């Protein structure tokens, strides 16, 4: 698919030089960069899905202390 993007002149010059040094085209450089960015977002989202909601405290008795409704700002006042 064809598209048009606007990037700052200095970034364009650096990107063009990088592509030339790698022996590739601007198109190849941009496609790889977009693929990498999209892949990183997918990985970040998967990591976020595995995160534990805090705060959870495990007590010696085996119980969990739920502080989800605790107002921590009161401790700073």
Number of domains in the chain: 1
Condensed to tens digits (0 to 9), the pLDDT of residues 12-66 reads 999 999 999 999 999 999 999 999 888 877 666 666 666 656 666 677 777 777 7
Residue 49: predicted pLDDT: 62
- Is 2 a domain residue? no
Q: Which domain range does residue 68 map to?
A: 9-76
> Token pair of 63, please?
């119980």
**pTM (predicted TM-score):** 0.52
The answer on pLDDT for 9 being more than 90 is yes
Residue 54: predicted pLDDT: 62
- Is 34 a domain residue? yes
Residue 50: predicted pLDDT: 65
- Is 4 a domain residue? no
Peptide bond preceding 55: is omega within 30 degrees of 0, i.e. cis? Answer: yes
2-9's contacts with Cβ under 8 Å and 24+ in sequence apart are: 5/30
Residue 20: predicted pLDDT: 95
């Amino acid at each position: 698919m064809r598209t048009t993007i606007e990037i700052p002149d200095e970034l364009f010059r650096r990107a063009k030089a990088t592509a030339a040094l790698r022996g590739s085209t601007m198109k190849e450089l941009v496609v790889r960069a977009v693929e990498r960015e999209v892949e990183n977002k997918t990985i970040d989202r998967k990591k976020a899905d595995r995160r534990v909601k805090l705060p959870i405290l495990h007590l010696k008795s085996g119980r969990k202390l739920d502080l989800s409704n605790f107002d921590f700002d009161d401790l700073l006042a």
